[in-house]
Amino acid sequence: MKLILASTSPRRKQLLQQLDITFEIVAPLFEECSTNLSPSEESLSFARNKALSVAAQHPSSWILASDTLVAIQGQKLGKPQNEADAIQMLQQLSGQSHTIFTAVALLNTATKLCQEHLETVKVTFRTLTDLEITNYVATGEPMDKAGAYAIQGGAQDFVTSIDGDLNAVIGLPLEPIKHWLKIISAKNDDT
């Protein structure tokens, strides 16, 4: 059975490549839209639905999907709609701690069984100036990122502390995936 990464994120592709495994990339067909779910439930739901959205076209495959959501003071921050939205998000994060929720789902399309894992990470930003925020948004980097920032990019200078897995902040926690791949490998060896 082949492994498919249901993501168009170059960051997730780079992280998964670190595991030195063969996989294909397929764009998920699932459209994200805000829900009334908690941040953890929404992230898990989105990851699961991304995997399911490509399952029919790839029978006898493992579909890996992930979703990252930022939450601060009970408010969910997805991807900014425009530059003004990105500026507002970064102003909200300035000088504060927030939580990253990154869910991963691994769907076996042959059995329809889906493994799920949720990673939460606390990230704290230093106080940002309006000029720093404006200049960062002008780079375009925040526009396709949950919470309007890339910790591995220009926003790394904004961070004062990370409590948890940096890879989960970037978008793909590798430890649960390594664990799942060991189980898959062991099952394949038994057949």
139-178 pLDDT per residue, tens: 999 998 999 999 999 999 999 999 999 999 999 999 999 9
- CATH number, domain at 78? 3.90.950.10
The domain total for the chain is: 1
Distance CA 137, CA 62 (A): 36
Identify the pLDDT of residue 157: 95
| φ, ψ for residue 55, nearest 5 deg | -65, -40
CA atoms within 13 A on the CB side of 40: 7
Please report the DSSP string for 109-129 in residue order.
TTT--EEEEEEEEEEEEPPPP
Q: What is the mean pLDDT of the chain?
A: 93
Q: Which residues contact 90 (CB under 8 A, 6 or more apart)?
A: 128, 133, 136, 137, 142, 148, 149
pLDDT of 48-75, one tens digit each? 999 999 999 998 999 999 999 999 998 9
| φ, ψ for residue 172, nearest 5 deg | -155, 100
Structural contact between residues 4 and 66, judged by C-beta atoms closer than 8 angstroms: no
Token pair, residue 4, equals 């498919």
What average pLDDT does the segment 31-47 reach?
Answer: 90
Structural contact between residues 93 and 126, judged by C-beta atoms closer than 8 angstroms: no
Residues involved in catalysis: 67
The residue range of the domain holding 186 is: 2-190
Token pair, residue 170, equals 């970037």
Token pair, residue 54, equals 């490509």
Amino acid making up residue 26 = V
